C-alpha cells in the first residue's frame, strides 16, 4: 500500500513539473489602457524590457490591458527597475468587465519586497473572468512599473482545471474580511454631506458574501480632519454579512486613525458586553480597498438605530401625537456637535441635544416638543436631587465602562433613549474610544489622577454639572460600588481582557502590518492622541495592557474606599475642572 502511495505522489510531482495546471494558458495581449494615456511611456510596460518603465505624471494612476474579451486570469508577472520598494508595495492588480472599473475586483496586492530588474510571478485563483486588467500604483505615489505580463485562458475554452473553478474564490490581502468599493468618479469630495454612488463587495473566506449598489460619504467630526477618513455606507437594499445579527442598508467604516493599536474600540465594546449593557454595537475588523487603493485596517459597524435587536424601544409614526403613544420611543444624544444638526434641543440647563429618532425627516412638531419638555422635566428634578426620571442601572454601567477605559470623550457625546410606558431616560450605548486607554495628551497619565476621569475629560454644554448631580445620589454610589465588585470578582479578576487583547491582535496582525505601511505614523504624534511615541505596534499593545492593569488596580482601590464621592457631597456637588475653566476663560477673552 505504501509503495502505491509513494508511486502516486511521485507521479503527481512529475505531472506538476511537466505540465501547467492550465494547458490552454497563454500570455494575453490586447489594447493598452491607462488613466495617464497622454504619457508616451505606457508602451514601456509591454516591451519585454525591464530597463524601461511607465511612470505616471500623477498619483492615483493606473495602467493595464483591454483584453478585448473575457478571460480567466491564471498568472500575473511584473517587474520593477527601481530599488525604492515604496513605489510598488501596496500596488494592486484588478480585474473588471466595465471599462471604468466600477465593478473591479482585486486579483493581487504586492505586500512584500520583490526582485528588481527581473520578472516576478504570482498565480491568480479568482474564479471570475475579466476583460480589463490593470495595475494601480501604491497610495500617494506615482504609478511606476517596468513590465506587466498577464496570463489566462478564454472563458469559453473547455479545459481540465485542478482548481475547480466552479467553486468561487476571490482574493483577500489578509485573513480579515475585505470590503471593496468603486465609484464611477474616483475623485474624492471631502465633505461629510456629499454622497457618491459606488458598487461594493464584501469578501470573506474568499467568497463574496454581499455586493450591490450603494452610496458612501465621509463621516465623523474631529476625525474628518485626519488623512485616514471614516465612511458611512448605504446599500440600495438591505444586506447581511460577516455573521452580523441583522440585515441593514446602513453601515459605518471607522478608520481608528488616532488609535495605533487599532483595537481600542473593539476592546471597549467587549467591556460593554461584560457589563451587560442592553445594547452593544457590533463591529468587526476589516480591510478596505477603494478605487484600487488600499486604505488600510478599519472596523465595520452596525448603524446605531432603533430596531428590535439594537435599541429595542417602541417605534414612532405620524399618528403618535397624543399620550401614551407620544411618550416614546426616542433616541437622543447630548452632543457637542448638535449645532450642525437641524433636529435639536437646547435644554433648560444648557445641554445641547440632537434627536436621533424619530429621524429629522419624520419627527413631528408635537413629538419634538414632548421630548424637549420631558428632558427639561428630568433635568429640573435632577438638579433638585430627584433621580426618578433617570435609570440608575444603565448610568452605573455607562459610567464604569467609561472609567475603566479612561475615555476622556465619555461626556463629549452621550447617547440616551426613552421608551413608551417608561418615564425614565436610559444611558447607552457606549461609543467612540479612540482617545481612551491613555491616548489623550490633554489628560495623560490618567492613572496618576486622584479622581475619576469624569473630573478631567471633555465636556459639552453643562454635562459636567449634569453628571455630577447624578453622582452625588446615595443610591447611585451604592449601585456603582456593587456593580464594580460583581464585575471585578466574576469577570476581570481572571485577566479575561488580556486574553481578549491577545486574540484580537492575533486576528489583525497581518492587516496591521499593511495598515502601517499605508499609514506610516507609528513614530509620529497624531492629533490629540498618541501623547507618548512608542514606535512599534508591539509597544503600543504592551502600553495598552499595562494601562489596563494599572487602571483596574486603581479603580478597585478607589471604588472600595470609604471616602468615595465624599468630596462631591461636601462641596455640594461642585467639581473643579481646572483645564476646562481655563478654556472657558480663553474663549471669553477671544470672543
pLDDT at position 226, please?
86
8 Å CB contact between 63 and 143: yes
The region that residue 421 occupies, defined by phi over 0 for left and psi between -120 and 50 for alpha, beta otherwise, is left
- Per-residue pLDDT of 270-280, as tens digits, reads 999 999 999 99
Given 3-state DSSP classes, what are the helix, strand and coil percentages for the chain, each rounded to the nearest 5? Answer: 30, 25, 45
CA distance 547 to 531: 14
| Phi and psi, residue 413, nearest 5° | -140, 125
For the chain, the first-to-last Cα distance in angstroms comes to 90
> Alpha carbon of 338 to those of 344, 359, 390, 414, 500: distances in Å?
6, 14, 22, 12, 35
> For the stretch 115-150, what's the b/e string if a residue is b when 16 or more beta carbons lie within 10 angstroms of its beta carbon?
ebeeebeeebebbbbbbbbbbbbbbebbbbbbbbbb
Q: Which pLDDT value is given to residue 569?
A: 57
DSSP 506-568: HHHHHHHHHHHHHS--TTS--TT--SS---SHHHHHHHHHHHHHHHHHHHHHHHTSTTTTHHH
**323's grid cell:** 399620550
- pLDDT on residue 441: 87
Q: What is the pLDDT of residue 530?
A: 78
Cβ atoms of residues 344 and 355 within 8 Å: yes
Q: Does residue 59 sit in helix, strand or coil?
A: strand
In three-state secondary structure terms, 95 is strand
Burial category of 272 from C-beta neighbours within 10 Å (exposed 0-12, middle 13-18, buried 19 and up)? buried
Which of 377, 367, 356, 366 has the alpha carbon at shortest distance from 328? 367
Sheet with 344-346: strands ordered across: 344-346, 352-357, 330-335, 413-418, 426-427
Q: Would you give the DSSP letter of residue 468?
A: H
Using DSSP's 3-state secondary structure scheme, residue 387 falls into coil
- Contact between 417 and 279 under an 8 Å Cβ cutoff? The reply is no
Taking the C-alpha atoms of residue 576 and residue 591, their distance in angstroms, rounded to an integer, is 23
Q: How far apart are the C-alpha atoms of 95 and 129, rounded to whole Å? A: 8
The residue behind cell 478597585 is 556
Residue 287: all three cell numbers together: 480591510
Q: Where are the alpha helices (DSSP H) in 162-258?
A: none
Query: Which three cell numbers, joined as nine digits, stand for 526?
Result: 497624531
Report the candidate in 244, 241, 216, 240 with the shortest Cα–Cα distance to residue 230: 216
pLDDT score for 414: 94
Mean pLDDT of all residues in the chain?
87
pLDDT given at position 532 = 84
Q: Could you tell me if 113 and 87 are in contact, meaning their C-beta atoms sit under 8 angstroms apart?
A: no
**What is the torsional sign of CA 196, 202, 203, 207?**
negative
pLDDT at 458: 83
Across 477-516, b (16+ Cβ under 10 Å) vs e yields bebbbebbeebbeeebeeeebeebbeebbebbebbbebbb
Q: What pLDDT is stored for residue 3 in this prediction? A: 46
Integer Rg of the chain from CA: 28
Secondary structure class of 578 (helix, strand, coil): helix
**DSSP 8-state assignment for residue 425:** B
Sequential DSSP letters for 481-512: HHHHHHHIIIIITTTHHHHHHHHHHHHHHHHH
Distance of alpha carbon 79 from alpha carbon 60, whole angstroms: 19
Alpha-carbon span 392 to 511, nearest angstrom? 40
**Homologous superfamily of domain range 26-154:** Galactose-binding domain-like (2.60.120.260)
| pTM for the structure as a whole | 0.89
pLDDT of amino acid 85: 87
Write down the domain spans for the chain.
Answer: 26-154, 178-302, 325-493+562-590
Residues of the chain with pLDDT under 70: 1-23, 38-40, 155-166, 185-193, 222-224, 564-591
C-alpha cell at 98: 466595465
Q: What are phi and psi of 339, to 5 degrees?
A: -60, -20
DSSP string, 41-54: GGGGGGSS-TT--E
Give pLDDT, residue 495.
82
| 209-214: Cβ within 8 A, 24+ apart | 209/177, 209/241, 209/242, 210/235, 210/239, 210/240, 210/241, 212/236, 212/237, 212/239, 214/181
172: cell is 483577500
Largest interatomic CA distance in the chain: 91
Number of residues assigned to the chain: 591
Residue pair 131/67 in contact (Cβ under 8 Å)? The answer is: yes
* Residues 219 and 233: beta-carbon distance below 8 Å: no
Q: Is 187 exposed, middle or buried (0-12, 13-18, 19+ CB in 10 A)?
A: exposed
C-beta of residue 163 within 8 angstroms of C-beta of residue 125: yes
Cell digits of residue 129: 473572468
CA angle centred on 333, ends 331 and 335, rounded to 5°? 160
Amino acid at each position: 500500500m505504501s509503495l502505491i502511495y509513494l508511486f502516486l505522489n511521485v507521479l503527481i510531482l512529475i505531472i506538476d513539473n511537466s505540465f501547467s495546471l492550465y494547458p490552454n494558458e497563454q500570455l494575453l495581449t490586447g489594447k493598452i489602457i491607462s488613466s495617464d494615456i497622454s504619457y508616451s511611456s505606457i508602451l514601456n510596460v509591454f516591451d519585454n524590457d525591464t530597463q524601461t518603465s511607465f511612470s505616471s505624471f500623477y498619483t492615483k494612476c493606473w495602467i493595464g490591458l483591454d483584453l478585448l474579451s473575457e478571460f480567466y486570469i491564471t498568472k500575473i508577472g511584473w517587474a520593477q527597475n527601481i530599488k525604492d520598494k515604496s513605489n510598488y508595495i501596496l500596488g494592486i492588480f484588478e480585474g473588471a468587465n466595465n471599462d471604468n472599473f466600477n465593478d473591479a475586483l482585486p486579483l493581487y496586492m504586492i505586500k512584500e519586497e520583490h526582485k528588481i530588474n527581473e520578472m516576478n510571478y504570482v498565480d491568480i485563483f479568482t474564479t471570475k473572468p475579466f476583460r480589463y486588467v490593470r495595475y494601480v500604483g501604491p497610495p500617494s505615489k506615482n504609478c511606476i512599473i517596468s513590465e506587466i505580463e498577464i496570463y489566462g485562458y478564454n472563458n469559453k475554452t473547455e479545459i481540465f482545471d485542478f482548481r475547480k473553478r466552479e467553486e468561487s474564490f476571490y482574493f483577500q490581502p489578509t485573513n480579515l474580511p475585505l470590503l471593496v468599493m468603486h465609484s464611477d468618479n474616483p475623485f474624492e469630495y471631502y465633505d461629510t454631506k456629499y454622497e457618491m454612488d459606488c458598487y461594493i463587495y464584501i469578501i470573506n473566506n474568499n467568497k463574496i458574501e454581499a455586493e450591490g449598489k450603494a452610496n458612501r460619504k465621509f463621516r465623523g467630526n474631529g476625525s474628518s480632519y485626519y488623512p485616514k477618513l471614516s465612511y458611512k455606507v448605504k446599500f440600495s437594499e438591505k444586506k447581511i454579512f460577516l455573521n452580523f445579527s441583522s440585515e441593514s442598508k446602513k453601515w459605518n467604516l471607522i478608520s481608528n486613525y488616532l488609535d495605533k493599536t487599532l483595537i481600542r474600540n473593539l476592546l471597549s465594546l467587549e467591556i460593554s458586553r461584560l457589563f451587560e449593557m442592553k445594547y452593544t454595537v457590533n463591529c468587526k475588523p476589516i480591510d478596505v480597498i477603494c478605487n484600487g487603493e488600499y486604505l488600510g485596517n478599519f472596523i465595520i459597524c452596525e448603524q446605531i438605530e432603533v430596531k428590535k435587536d439594537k435599541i429595542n424601544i417602541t417605534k414612532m409614526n405620524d399618528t403618535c401625537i397624543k399620550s401614551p403613544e407620544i411618550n416614546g420611543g426616542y433616541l437622543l444624544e447630548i452632543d457637542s456637535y448638535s449645532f450642525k444638526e437641524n433636529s435639536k434641543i437646547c435644554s433648560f440647563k444648557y445641554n445641547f441635544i440632537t434627536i436621533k429618532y424619530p429621524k429629522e425627516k419624520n419627527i413631528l412638531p408635537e413629538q419634538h416638543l414632548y421630548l424637549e419638555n420631558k428632558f427639561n422635566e428630568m433635568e429640573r428634578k435632577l438638579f433638585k436631587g430627584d433621580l426618578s426620571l433617570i435609570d440608575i442601572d444603565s448610568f452605573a454601567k455607562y459610567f464604569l465602562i467609561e472609567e475603566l477605559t479612561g475615555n476622556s470623550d465619555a461626556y463629549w457625546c452621550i447617547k440616551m433613549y426613552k421608551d413608551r410606558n417608561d418615564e425614565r431616560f436610559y444611558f447607552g450605548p457606549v461609543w467612540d474610544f479612540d482617545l481612551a486607554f491613555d491616548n489623550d495628551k490633554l489628560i495623560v497619565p490618567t492613572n496618576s489622577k486622584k479622581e475619576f476621569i469624569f473630573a478631567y475629560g471633555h465636556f459639552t454644554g453643562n454635562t459636567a454639572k449634569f453628571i455630577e448631580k447624578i453622582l452625588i445620589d446615595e443610591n447611585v454610589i451604592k449601585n456603582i460600588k456593587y456593580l464594580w465588585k460583581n464585575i471585578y470578582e466574576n469577570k476581570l479578576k481572571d485577566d479575561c481582557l488580556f486574553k481578549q487583547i491577545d486574540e484580537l491582535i492575533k486576528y489583525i496582525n497581518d492587516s496591521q502590518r499593511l495598515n502601517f505601511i499605508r499609514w506610516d505614523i507609528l513614530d509620529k504624534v497624531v492629533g490629540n492622541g498618541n501623547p507618548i511615541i512608542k514606535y512599534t505596534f508591539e509597544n503600543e499593545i504592551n502600553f495598552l495592557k499595562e494601562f489596563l492593569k494599572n487602571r483596574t488596580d486603581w479603580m478597585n482601590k478607589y471604588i472600595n474606599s470609604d471616602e468615595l464621592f465624599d468630596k462631591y457631597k461636601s462641596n455640594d456637588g461642585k467639581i473643579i475642572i481646572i483645564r476646562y475653566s481655563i478654556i472657558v476663560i480663553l474663549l471669553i477673552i477671544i470672543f
